[in-house]
Chain A
Amino acid sequence: MTAIRVEDIIKPENLVYKKSSVLTDVPMHYCYGCSHGVVHKIIAEVIEEMGIQGEVVGIAPVGCSVMAYYYLDIDWMQAAHGRAPAVATGYKRVNPKKYVFAYQGDGDLAAIGTAETMHAVNRGENIVMIFINNAIYGMTGGQMAPTTMVGQVTSTSPYGRDIDLNGYPLKITELIAQLPGAAYVTRQSVHTPGNVRKTKKAIRKAFENSAKNIGTSFIEVVSTCNSGWKIDPVASNKWMEENMFPFYPLGDLKDSTRDDANTYMVQKLKK
């Protein structure tokens, strides 16, 4: 019996998975267990599969993903804290044929940038907005976010988020879904292979929506930050399932691509 050689195994017909060509070789700076890397990978795969590498621009936020541009081999802009939707608007308005996506965390999108977020969606900008909600400020060292859970301990809520002091966690995605300019609003996660597949499907749909001019596509990814939460990655997934999913339930909140859709943007196009 002859030994099986490596060359016999690595053949195109046996290839079931490979790194996306849109991902660079730069090692990601994200912590082990962080959701950012998975979402980056999904976006890269969608861009590759749609063949739009030369037609897409990303807007990186301020936060852990500020250097997202090192990892996806596309043109990027890096916006001021919270301003990614305004930067995306400015870019898209002068380049309406390009695919434009803004990538933001919870502090960026739902605290300092709330106005830019709401108004970009309300105008129905034909952009993709990807919202990583890990209920904490990761880059600055684990401070309370607008989406931090009631009772959750952070470095600026050391005794747990107190609603009398800080108010409730903000369900900005539910607010976004109310806006006529929103075409597609969904909440996903990337903590299991099944959820990764669902998120990829959602991101693909969002990019496809861009070409249809039907308004903003908004994807929240409920995410983990084990460094900020100060628990290990496996425990983080469990904590997210038990504490975040009941408050931030997964699934579509709005879908204008359905036949019965009757949003402002769809009506406008039908006219």
Chain B
Amino acid sequence: MGDIRLMKGNEVIAEAAIRCGCDAYFGYPITPQSEVMETLMARAPWEETGMVVLQAESEVASINMVFGGASAGKKVMTSSSSPGISLMAEGISYIAGAELPALIVNVQRGGPGLGTIQPSQADYFQATKGGGHGDYHLLVLAPNSVQEMNDFVDLGFELAFKYLNPVMILTDGVIGQMMEKVELSDFKPRLTDDEVEQRSGHWAATGKKSTRKQHIITSLEMISERQEKFNQKLQAKYARMREEEVRYEEISCDDAEYIIVAYGVSSRISQKAVVLLREKGIKAGLFRPITLFPFPNKRINELAGHAKGFLSVEMSAGQMVEDVLLSVNGQTKVEHFGRMGGMIATPIEVVTALESKLIGG
């Protein structure tokens, strides 16, 4: 058995970063994710693995520190919550445009504006459709347990380096704050400079050798024809992600007439709702997208062939429901149910919403 603990989701992000050989974390305090940096500072990993932890002067600075560290081919990350992620949007766009690997954690809270420090899922559009300027996508992972908070840090870095693209763990204040049993990953050493050179030496700014041309980490291209070609290259990369990286979980979907689509904490609530619905004789199932980008369009489209209706359950005014609608593509009914502003739906509310919106009273 591995190292099993009872930990908060945010603390686990920090622990998983140290254990997966992360080179640096740059961040700025914001509720409800401050435990990530607090845990890192208390653990002092610079003494253990050599990992750098630095509190920046702002989220703007921290994401640009990530840009700098990632340019060196190192495993670097940041975390924040909704308003802080908005501040990072510029830097994230530059990271995507410069094709750098990086991990960004968004422990969502309610908005708009300063909003609330209570949990929310209202940053779905921002996370999955780009978020900053220009045509780009993050690869977005949505954990629904403290265990997945652990697992997705290493996975996130792996995907970031596979695609040379920023990866976001899109979670929420509930998963970040709640304590659960977690089996921590084994320790992996940080890469040595030679290993970094081996992995990323073909693109990273590791110092110009006489044996190679200079490496320029930039998102600038003044010639439109070249910039369009670059955009096409990015789109091809996203197409490859759509082919290779779609992840989802299905619970009781095989015979389901009514399918709830939910991610993160909403999927935990909806799982209970499925049990309650089945007890009432309603054949309900839960479809949980694990990657929000790429979204599991194909699978939802298949399920739509034999389902009577879909209910997208999100802590938002209805964002993911648009992707569900596109996936279902008119085959059957799609509705949305959500609470906002830090309010969390109960399983009974979900049951009632499904009955009234899909089955009819």
Listed from nearest, the 3 A-B pairs whose CB atoms lie closest are A90-B68, A90-B65, A86-B64
Residues of B close to A66: CB separation below 8 A: 220
| Distance between A10 CB and nearest chain B CB, rounded to angstroms | 25
Can you list 25 contacts pairing A with B, beta carbon distance less than 8 Å?
Answer: A56-B207, A57-B71, A57-B207, A60-B218, A69-B218, A74-B214, A76-B205, A77-B67, A77-B217, A78-B217, A80-B90, A83-B60, A83-B67, A83-B91, A89-B61, A90-B64, A90-B70, A92-B68, A93-B24, A93-B52, A93-B68, A93-B69, A94-B23, A94-B74, A115-B57
**At the interface, yes or no: A244 with Cβ under 8 Å from chain B?**
no
**Would A75 and B69 count as touching, CB distance under 8 A?**
no
Q: Is B66 an interface residue (CB 8 A)?
A: yes
Q: What residues of chain B lie closer than 8 Å to A204, measured between beta carbons? A: none
A77-B64 Cα distance, complex, nearest whole Å: 11
Across-interface contacts of B52 in A (CB, < 8 A): 93-94
For A57, the chain B residues whose CB sits under 8 A away are: 71, 205, 207
Are B220 and A80 within 8 A (Cβ)? Answer: no
Contact B76 A54 (CB under 8 A): no
Contact of B206 with A88 in the complex, beta carbons under 8 Å: no
Whether B206 and A75, one on each chain, are in contact in the complex, defined by CB atoms closer than 8 angstroms, is yes
Smallest CB–CB gap between B195 and chain A, Å? 14
Is B118 engaged at the interface, CB distance under 8 Å to the other chain? no
| A239 proximal to B (CB < 8 A) | no
Scan residues 214-262 of chain A and give those whose CB is less than 8 A from a CB of chain B: none
**Number of A positions contacting B (CB below 8 A):** 33
Kindly list chain B residues whose C-beta atoms are within 8 Å of the C-beta of A60.
Answer: 218
Chain A residue numbers with a CB within 8 Å of B206 are: 75, 95
If A75-B205, A94-B72 touch, whether A80 touches B57 (CB-CB below 8 Å) is no
Alpha-carbon distance A257/B218, docked complex (angstroms): 35
Could you list which residues of chain B lie within 8 angstroms of chain A, going by C-beta atoms? 23-24, 26, 52, 54, 56-58, 60-62, 64-72, 74, 76, 90-91, 94, 98, 205-210, 214-220, 222
A226 to chain B, nearest CB (A): 23
A86 touches B71 (CB 8 A): no
CA distance A86 to B62 in the complex (A): 7
Beta-carbon contact of B60 and A93 below 8 Å: no
Rounded to whole angstroms, the CA-CA distance of A92 and B65 in the bound complex is 9
Asked if A79 is an interface residue, CB under 8 A from chain B, the answer is yes
Query: Residues of A at under 8 Å CB distance from B?
Result: 53-57, 59-60, 66-67, 69, 73-80, 83, 86-95, 98, 115-116, 119
- Contacting residue for A87 out of B54, B68, B207, CB 8 A: B68
Contacts A75-B205, A98-B207 known; 10 new A-B pairs at CB < 8 A: A66-B220, A77-B205, A78-B217, A86-B62, A87-B71, A89-B65, A90-B26, A90-B65, A93-B69, A116-B61
CB nearest neighbor in B for A92: B68
> Given that A67-B220, A94-B72, A95-B72 are contacting pairs, would A79 and B205 also be in contact in the complex, using a CB cutoff of 8 Å?
no
Return B17 CB to nearest CB of chain A, in Å. 14
**A66 to B222 alpha-carbon distance, docked (Å):** 11
Known: A74-B208, A115-B61. A90 touches B69 (CB 8 A): yes
Find out whether the CB atom of A93 lies under 8 angstroms from the CB atom of B94: no
CB <8 Å contact, B72 and A73: no
| Chain B residues in 8 Å Cβ range of A53 | 208
Partner of B64, one of A73, A74, A83, A95: A83
Question: How many Å from the CB of A127 to the closest CB on chain B?
Answer: 10
Complex Cα gap A90–B205 (Å): 13
Which of B60, B76, B218 touches A78 (beta carbons < 8 Å)?
A: B218
User: Known contacts A57-B207, A66-B220, A94-B24: does B214 contact A86 (CB below 8 Å)?
Assistant: no
Q: Which residue of B lies closest to A87 (CB)?
A: B68
Q: How far is the CA of A47 from the CA of B72 in the complex (A)?
A: 20
Residue of B nearest to A95 (CB): B72
